[in-house]
């Protein structure tokens, strides 16, 4: 919702290239329309986007666990690496959620899991083995199954804290 409201969505469309090009003005209030290939390619690219989001959220959550376990500040760590190679919208937005422990859903974990399962089903159809995606899907499956379905996907941090007996109040 925030991306659509701000007009910053990445809109990926597949189908007839000339037809899609003519729709740019229609989609402009919500974001940038990009032709990505034949019919079905838009859905495929949307799944790939969610794959990157999930893996990156998992990486940020694990890094937050590591720095805190070693005595560093999660907030200080996040501030220190911003602007470097690890900078991303995930670090900016979801890293902030992890620091502030604000897991009110923007993107509920149950939908992240749905998309990850879609990625794995598509990968199977394409005879691909995606070990990072398989692992993060297992983590989200456990988190959703343990009551995290309606918690923001950045709440995977809560799952990792529980897994490591480092739950916070």
| Tokens encoding 97 | 């959620």
The catalytically annotated residue of 46, 100, 124, 162 is 46
How far apart are alpha carbons 27 and 37 in whole angstroms?
18
Tokens read off for 4: 């659509």
**Residue 28 to residue 30: CA distance in whole angstroms:** 5
Q: Are strands 9-14 and 31-37 parallel, antiparallel or unpaired?
A: parallel
C-alpha distance from residue 136 to each of 67, 117, 142 (Å): 20, 10, 10
Q: Is 114 a catalytic residue?
A: no
Rg (CA), the chain: 18
Positions marked active-site: 46
């Amino acid at each position: 919702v925030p991306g659509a409201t701000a007009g910053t969505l990445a809109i990926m469309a597949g189908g007839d290239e000339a037809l899609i090009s003519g729709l740019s003005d229609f989609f402009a209030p919500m974001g940038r329309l990009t032709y990505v290939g034949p019919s079905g390619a838009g859905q495929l690219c949307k799944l790939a986007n969610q794959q990157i989001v999930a893996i990156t959220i998992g990486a940020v959550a694990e890094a937050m666990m590591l720095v805190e376990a070693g005595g560093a500040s999660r907030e200080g760590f996040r501030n220190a690496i911003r602007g470097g190679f690890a900078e991303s919208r995930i670090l900016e937005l979801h890293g902030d959620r992890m620091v502030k422990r604000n897991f009110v859903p923007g993107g509920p974990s149950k939908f992240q899991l749905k998309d990850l399962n879609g990625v794995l089903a598509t990968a199977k159809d394409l005879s691909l083995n995606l070990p990072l995606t398989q692992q993060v899907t297992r983590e989200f499956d456990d988190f959703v199954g343990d009551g995290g379905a309606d918690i923001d996907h950045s709440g995977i941090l809560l799952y990792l804290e529980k897994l490591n007996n480092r739950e916070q109040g």
